[in-house]
């Protein structure tokens, strides 16, 4: 079990990146969802023992990871947002190097690398230099190095940024296949990533945890409060100033807008099924005080 207890992170310039953050997870894919600057990467670095909390504690199976980091590191796989590679090495050479850094038995590492190369569909490119890889292939190499020690907790920070739609879909499918009997912490600001991969979502805003629940619970909380209406541009501005609004689509007959409100925002508004994007917009906007409703 990973337990985050009353964790805050304040930097020397006075900026508070995390404030009194609490979370407990046992297994499965957990999506950390929030805008850039919400504190996700700060939290990831602390879980990976790269950074320490200003206040509070993080426990792995009951032990404080910042008093005894080795207790977590032996169970940890980490793919940071900025993942560097040696472009002149091929995949096998790079993974051998990473296995040596992790202190793995090289006979065990050899078998593990073969398994991962096959699992991540890199067999055809295993002897090519990594510098020739696409963004999606580099991310797969990043996941491979994170999985070398068969970790019980896998931390991936903004893994699909810069990937094209097909690569993003493949990556989400891969994450789904890795979640059995381990914790996968997936940090992202891309709603579709957590919608398709995460079993639970920790919604973050400005360094604070807004809620932690299953996807379905978030959607249920907005049932009957999400509307679509077709308006002209004059009415559009009035609605945007009064209500929490989501996606806006230009149509030949006007602007189709999604509105999150307990009351009907206009006479022609109809109730529609909420999406995770609606929930994300609603809870972050409400917490930020951006709604006049």
Distance (Å, whole) CA 11 – CA 41: 14
Shared-domain flag, residues 246 and 186: no
Indicate whether 110 belongs to any domain.
yes
The first and second tokens of residue 240, run together, are 């945007």
Indicate whether 229 belongs to any domain.
yes
Of the residues 219, 247, 279, the one at which a domain ends: 219
Of the residues 174, 199, 219, the one at which a domain ends: 219
Nearest to 19 by CA among 36, 1, 43: 43
pTM value? 0.85
Task: Write out the residue range of the structural domain in which residue 262 sits.
Answer: 222-288
Indicate whether 293 belongs to any domain.
no
Considering Cα of 96, then 97, then 98, then 101, what sign does the dihedral take? Answer: positive
Burial letters 99-134, b for 16+ CB under 10 A, else e:
beeeebeeeebeebbeebbebbebeebbeebbeebe
Shared-domain flag, residues 226 and 213: no
Shared-domain flag, residues 268 and 152: no
Q: What is the CA radius of gyration of the chain?
A: 22
In this prediction, residue 196 carries a pLDDT of 83
Indicate whether 183 belongs to any domain.
yes
Of the residues 166, 198, 219, the one at which a domain ends: 219
Count of domains for the chain: 2
Shared-domain flag, residues 104 and 179: yes
Distance (Å, whole) CA 87 – CA 90: 8
Mean pLDDT, consecutive 10-residue stretches, the chain (293 aa), reads: 96 93 93 90 93 95 91 90 85 94 90 92 92 87 91 89 79 79 90 87 94 93 96 90 93 93 94 94 75 43
Shared-domain flag, residues 226 and 210: no
Query: Are 282 and 244 spatial neighbours (Cβ–Cβ below 8 Å)?
Result: yes
Indicate whether 168 belongs to any domain.
yes
Return the half-sphere exposure (C-beta side, CA atoms, 13 A cut-off) of residue 243: 25
Shared-domain flag, residues 195 and 228: no
Shared-domain flag, residues 128 and 150: yes
In this prediction, residue 288 carries a pLDDT of 61
């Amino acid at each position: 079990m990973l337990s985050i207890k009353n964790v805050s992170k304040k930097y020397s310039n006075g900026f508070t990146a995390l404030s009194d953050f609490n979370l407990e997870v046992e297994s499965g894919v957990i999506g950390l969802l929030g805008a850039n600057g919400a504190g996700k990467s700060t939290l990831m670095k602390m879980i990976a023992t790269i950074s320490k909390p200003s206040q509070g504690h993080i426990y792995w199976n009951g032990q404080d990871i910042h008093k005894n980091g080795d207790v977590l590191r032996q169970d940890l796989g980490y793919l940071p947002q900025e993942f560097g590679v040696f472009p002149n090495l091929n995949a096998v050479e790079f993974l051998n190097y990473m296995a040596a850094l992790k202190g793995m038995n090289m006979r065990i590492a050899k078998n593990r690398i073969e398994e991962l190369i096959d699992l991540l569909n890199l067999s055809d490119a295993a002897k090519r230099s990594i510098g020739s890889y696409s963004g999606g292939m580099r991310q797969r190499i990043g996941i491979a190095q994170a999985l070398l020690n068969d970790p019980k907790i896998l931390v991936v920070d903004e893994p699909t940024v810069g990937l094209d739609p097909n690569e993003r879909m493949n990556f989400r499918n891969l994450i789904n296949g890795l979640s059995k009997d381990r914790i996968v912490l997936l940090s992202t600001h891309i709603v579709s990533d957590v919608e398709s991969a995460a079993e639970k979502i920790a919604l973050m805003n400005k360094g604070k945890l807004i809620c932690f629940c299953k996807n379905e619970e978030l959607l249920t909380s907005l049932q009957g409060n999400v509307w679509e209406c077709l308006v002209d541009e004059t009415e559009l501005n009035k609605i945007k100033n009064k209500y929490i609004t989501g996606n806006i689509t230009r149509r030949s007959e006007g602007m189709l807008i999604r509105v999150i409100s307990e009351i009907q925002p206009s006479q022609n508004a109809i109730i529609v099924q909420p999406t995770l994007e609606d929930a994300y917009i609603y809870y972050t906007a409400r917490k930020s005080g951006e709604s006049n409703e």
